[in-house]
Structure 1
Amino acid sequence: MASMLSEKAPAAIAAGAAPGRRRRRTAWRAAGFVVPVWVYVLCFYVYPLVSNVKMGFQNYTVASFYTGAAPFVGFANYTAVFHDPQFMTVVTNTVLFTIGSLAFQFAVGMGLAVFFRRVFPLGGVLRGLLLVPWLLPLVVSGTVWRWMMYNDSGVINYTLLHLHLIGQPVPWLASTNTSLIAVIIVNIWVGIPFNMVILYGGLQALPEQVFEAAAIDGANAWQRFTRITLPMLRPVILVVLTLGLIYTVKVFDVIMIVTQGGPANSSQTLTTYAYDLSFSQLLFGRGAAVGNILILVAVVFAGIYLRAVREQDGERR
């Protein structure tokens, strides 16, 4: 009897140790996937972010790249930026650019989403074609729109003149009155597909029975849209607007390609202003300070987005 127990003991120990080894192997496999991601995030997100925040409180010049000396100046960079005569113009341009882009992107995107909810021949093909502005590189889109908006040879002025909608060419890119409108138009064109896709997905999830019941009760199309579609689509709308706001505030490439922030800073926003301070005027500390302001704005609206997502999950539960 004792010999039998002694033979079973090693087997039991081995059987008990097997789950522990499996758990350790699973943990190592999980670490193999997670650790590279964290290394990437630390190297390409956390380190640049911390460095930019630090630079915003330093007098960082071209010489600092060679000597490594960048004296701490506290909030001097922020004070200089806030007292810059251009700063209020830049902030105003950023607000107008963001509101104008969001309003028209959402309105057109919602209209297209409602339109494509109907089933008709080639509807899927048309939806796919409308995604082209979203899929094209922004360098390509900006370059094409810049060519289209040329004063004398641009296709937009050519079309408007031949339709007798204008009497003389509109200086889209050369006038301080129209340059901001020009970049807003380009950004609207780029952002419409994003709004359409997200809103279309939200509309597809709405129950048809509710609309059928409302139609039977005598509600017309506008009443069904305002009193049923919009309230039921509110979580999706909030997410679309919040994400669009975060993206639009930090738009850089469209403005730089189309107008470079000019003429006379008339289309300059916070992103291009930070670039100009850092790489044109070589005031790296001030440029970092403006970048930190943008980061703060993005963090605030990211918090709003996360709260909206949590509320949406709570409503589903």
Structure 2
Amino acid sequence: MTTSTLPARPEAPARAPRPRGAGRRRFHQWLFVLPALVYLLVFFGYPLVRNVLMSFQEYTPRTYFTGEAPFNGLDNWHRVFENDLFGDALWQTILFTVGSLVGQFTIGLALAVFFSRRFHLSGVIRAVLLLPWLVPMVVSAVVWRRIMDEDHGVLNSFLETLHLSGDGVPWLSSPSVALLSAILVNIWIGVPFNMVILYGGLQEIPRDLYEAAALDGASPWRTFRSVTLPMLRPVVTVVLVLGFMSTIKILDLILALTGGGPADSTQTLGTLTYQLSFLQLDFGQGAVVGNVLILISAVFAVLYLRVNRADLGNGGTR
């Protein structure tokens, strides 16, 4: 009778001893991060939580004297969503945001490609084109309000000189034209930002790829479509997401340019929040619209992070 012996069970590898001072280093690392965490909690976390709570409260000017802000459930949300102006403002916000992003990106990309071919005084011209981005938005809006004045504006005088308009275009006084005017002004303001970021991305594309495309006989359009755009994808994503974040919440430009009029034709979610909170003094409803803006921005931020993570997982496009 034979007895089979089981193989000896391998011993588990000895666990590496924890290096001395690791806990202290981890503590020091958290000390460096702590100021940023405190800043985020105080200046972003607390206002966000207060805004969410306010949307479920009856928060009026009387609250500042009595300290009482009773919860009213979803009453604020129902009143906002049943307001016809909210639907119009949401639609006009979409039109304003999409029109601005398309115009800013298209013109900014065209200028970036143009200036990538360096020529005499190109640096000076790029610096001049940055001025709309550097000027405060309220100042730009006031200047364009004078330019687009129907009776005495420079723009209508220029169009009359070219015999393109006889009676003058009601840029800011017609409900059918005012939103388009606001979009054009915002495009003028945002083009320099798009141009600078996209120009920097173009400078990072290896020249060897263009030489290889030229040797293969690719046309300029084919080279742009097959080489430039794929290599610019990470930069394009950043430009569009940042442009979206800054455009969807614009308030000062529209207030200074049209004030939300005429006939509420340029009301957006940003101006509606201002109107409900500081003109009608209904802070609860204003908080509701603000939360809608935050939710929309958060959705696009998550989409951006997912796209960026997918690019990193695939090794990037470069």
TM-score normalised by length of structure 2: 0.88
TM-aligned CA deviation for residue 35 of structure 1? 3.8
Letter matched to residue 298 of structure 1:
S
Q: Distance in 2 between matches of 1:37 and 1:242?
A: 23
Q: 1:27 to 1:178 in 2, by over 3 A?
A: same
CA distance in 1, matches of 2:146, 2:26: 56
Conserved 8 A contact 1:239-1:308 = no
| C-alpha deviation, 1:27, in angstroms | 4.8
- Summarize the Cα distance change of 1:66–1:182 in structure 2 as closer, same or farther, 3 Å threshold: same
CA distance in 2, matches of 1:201, 1:233: 10
Distance 2:235 2:25 in 1: 41
- 1:123 and 2:117 equivalent? no
Matched with 1:48 is 47
Superposed, 1:66-81 pairs within 5 Å as 66-81=65-80
CA distance in 2, matches of 1:312, 1:206: 17
Hey, what's the Cα distance between the residues in 2 that align with 1:141 and 1:213? 45
SS of aligned partner of 1:260: coil
Which residues of 2 match residues 58-137 of structure 1 at below 5 A? 58-137=57-136
Partner of 2:289: 290
1:284: how far off?
Answer: 0.9
Q: Which segment drifts farther, 124-133 or 253-262?
A: 124-133
Shift of 1:310: 2.2
Matched residue, 2:210: 211
Residue 260 of structure 2 corresponds to residue 265 of structure 1: no
Partner of 1:225: 224
Q: Residues 29, 311 of structure 1: CA spacing in aligned structure 2 closer, same or farther, 3 A cutoff?
A: closer
Map of 1:143 onto structure 2? 142
SS in 1 for 2:62: helix
Identity across the alignment (%): 54
Distance 1:227 1:28, change over 3 A: closer
Q: Structure 1: any 5+ residue segments left out of the alignment?
A: 1-18
Q: Which amino acid aligns with 1:307?
A: R
Counterparts of 1:303 and 1:194, CA distance in 2: 23
Provide the secondary structure at the position in 2 that maps to 1:173.
coil
Contact map agreement 1:102 1:188 (CA 8 A) in 2: yes
Q: Which amino acid aligns with 2:74?
A: F
Amino acid at match of 1:57: F
Report how many aligned residue pairs link the two structures. 297
- The alpha-carbon deviation at position 105 of structure 1 amounts to 0.5
TM-score w.r.t. structure 1 length? 0.88
Give the Cα separation in 2 of the matches to 1:125 and 1:112: 14
Which letter does structure 2 place at the counterpart of 1:284? Answer: F
How far 1:49 moved relative to its partner?
Answer: 1.1
Superposed displacement of residue 128, structure 1:
1.5
Would you say the 8 A contact 1:242–1:304 is kept in 2?
Answer: no
C-alpha contact 1:251 1:271 (8 A) present in aligned 2: yes
Name the residue aligned to 2:154: 155
1:15 corresponds to: none
**Residues 61 and 191 of structure 1: is their aligned pair in 2 closer, same or farther, counting only changes over 3 Å?**
same
3-state SS in 2 of match to 1:62: coil
Counterparts of 2:51 and 2:88, CA distance in 1: 24
Comparing 259-268 with 135-144, greater Cα deviation is found at 135-144
Equivalent pair of 1:172/1:179 in contact (CA under 8 Å): yes
- Quote how far apart the aligned CAs of 1:147 are: 1.3
Q: Which has the higher helix share?
A: 1
Aligned residue identity for 2:41: L
The equivalent residue for 1:39 is 38
Match of 1:183 in 2: 182
Please say if 1:302 is aligned against 2:306.
no
CA RMSD of aligned residues (A): 1.9
> 1:248, CA displacement in angstroms?
1.1
Q: For 1:27 and 1:147, how far apart are their aligned partners in 2?
A: 58
- AA matched with 1:101: S
Counterpart AA for 1:254: L
The whole-number CA distance in structure 2 between the counterparts of 1:116 and 1:59 is 55
Q: Find the aligned partners of 1:68 and 1:245 in 2 and give their Cα distance.
A: 37
Mapped to 1, the partners of 2:209 and 2:154 lie a distance apart of 46
Q: Secondary structure at the match of 1:261?
A: coil
What displacement does 1:256 show?
A: 1.0
The whole-number CA distance in structure 2 between the counterparts of 1:34 and 1:241 is: 29
Q: Deviations over 1:122-145 (max 9, x none)?
A: 111111111111111112111111
**Corresponding position of 1:276:** 275
Aligned equivalents of 2:131 and 2:207: distance in 1?
30
Structure 2 unaligned residues grouped into runs of 5+ = 1-19
